[in-house]
Amino acid sequence: MKELTGYLRKDGRFGIRNHLLVLPTVSCVNGVVNRIAREVPEAVPAPHAHGCGRGGPRDLEILFRVLTGMILHPNVGGVVLIGLGCEISNTKRLLPLIQGAGKPVAVFNVQEDGGSLATARKGVEAARRILAELADQKRAAMPWEGLLVGMECGGSDAWSGITANVALGAVSDALVSKGATVVFGENTEMIGTAHILARRAKDEQVAQKIRSLVERAERTAREVMGDLAALIISPGNMDGGMSTIAEKSMGCIVKGGSTTINEVVDYGETPKEKGLILQDGPGYDGDSMAGLAASGAQVMFFSTGRGTPAGFPAVPVIKVASNNRIFKAMEDDMDINAGSLVEGRPLTDLRSEMLELLIRVINGEKTKAEANGMEVFTFMTVHPPF
Amino acid sequence: MENALIIHPRDNVAVALKDLSEGETVAAEGIEPFTALEEIPFGHKVALRDISEGEEIIKYGETVAVSNRPIRKGEWVHTHNLESQRWKR
A367 to A199, A256, A315: CA distances (angstroms): 35, 21, 10
Residue A366, domain member (yes or no): yes
**Nearest to A288, CA basis, from A187, A164, A168:** A187
Residue A222, domain member (yes or no): yes
Q: A18 pLDDT exceeds 90? A: yes
**Nearest to B46, CA basis, from B83, B5, B89, B84:** B5
Residue A384, domain member (yes or no): no
Looking at residue A344, its pLDDT comes to: 80
Give me the residue from B29, B63, B65 closest to A243, CB to CB: B65
Q: Does A229 touch chain B (CB under 8 A)?
A: no
Which of A100, A135, A170 is a domain's end point? A135
Which of A135, A168, A192 is a domain's end point? A135
Task: Write out the residue range of the structural domain in which residue A280 sits.
Answer: 144-372
**Residues A185 and A287 placed together within one structural domain of the fold:** yes
**Residues A204 and A116 placed together within one structural domain of the fold:** no
Percent of chain A having pLDDT more than 90? Answer: 82
Which of A97, A117, A135 is a domain's end point? A135
**Nearest to A249, CA basis, from B65, B75, B41, B66:** B65
Residue B64: its chain A contacts at CB < 8 A? 243-244, 246-247, 250
Q: A61 pLDDT exceeds 50? A: yes
**Nearest to A248, CA basis, from B52, B86, B71, B72:** B86
Interface test with A, best of B12, B45, B87, B88 (most A CBs within 10 A): B87
Give me the residue from A230, A241, A244 closest to B65, CB to CB: A244
**Which residue numbers of B have CB closer than 8 Å to A's CBs?**
1-2, 5, 7, 15-17, 29, 41-45, 57, 59-65, 77-79, 82, 84-87
**A186 with A281: CB under 8 angstroms?**
yes
For residues A316 and A131, what is the distance between their CA atoms, to the nearest angstrom?
Answer: 19
**Residues A117 and A204 placed together within one structural domain of the fold:** no
Q: State residue A83 phi and psi, 5-degree precision.
A: -105, 170
Of A72-76, A293-297, B40-44, which range is least confident? B40-44
User: Hey, what domains does chain B have and what are their CATH numbers?
Assistant: 1-89 (2.30.130.110)
- Sheet bearing A140-142, strands edge to edge: A14-15, A4-8, A140-142
Residue A381, domain member (yes or no): no
Checking ipTM against 0.95, whether it exceeds it is no
**Residues A127 and A168 placed together within one structural domain of the fold:** no
**Residues A248 and A350 placed together within one structural domain of the fold:** yes
Looking at residue B86, its pLDDT comes to: 59
**Residues A367 and A315 placed together within one structural domain of the fold:** yes
A147 to A4, A139, A144, A195, A366: CA distances (angstroms): 9, 14, 5, 29, 17
Residue A380, domain member (yes or no): no
Question: Residue A55 contacts by C-beta under 8 Å, 6 or more apart in sequence?
Answer: A88, A386
Domains of chain A: total: 2
B16 to B25, B33, B74: CA distances (angstroms): 11, 13, 11
**Residues A155 and A248 placed together within one structural domain of the fold:** yes
Q: Does A251 touch chain B (CB under 8 A)?
A: yes
Residue B61: its chain A contacts at CB < 8 A? 258
Terminal C-alpha separation, chain B: 37
The 10s digit of each residue's pLDDT in A336-356 is 999 999 888 889 999 999 999
CATH number at residue A50: 3.40.50.261
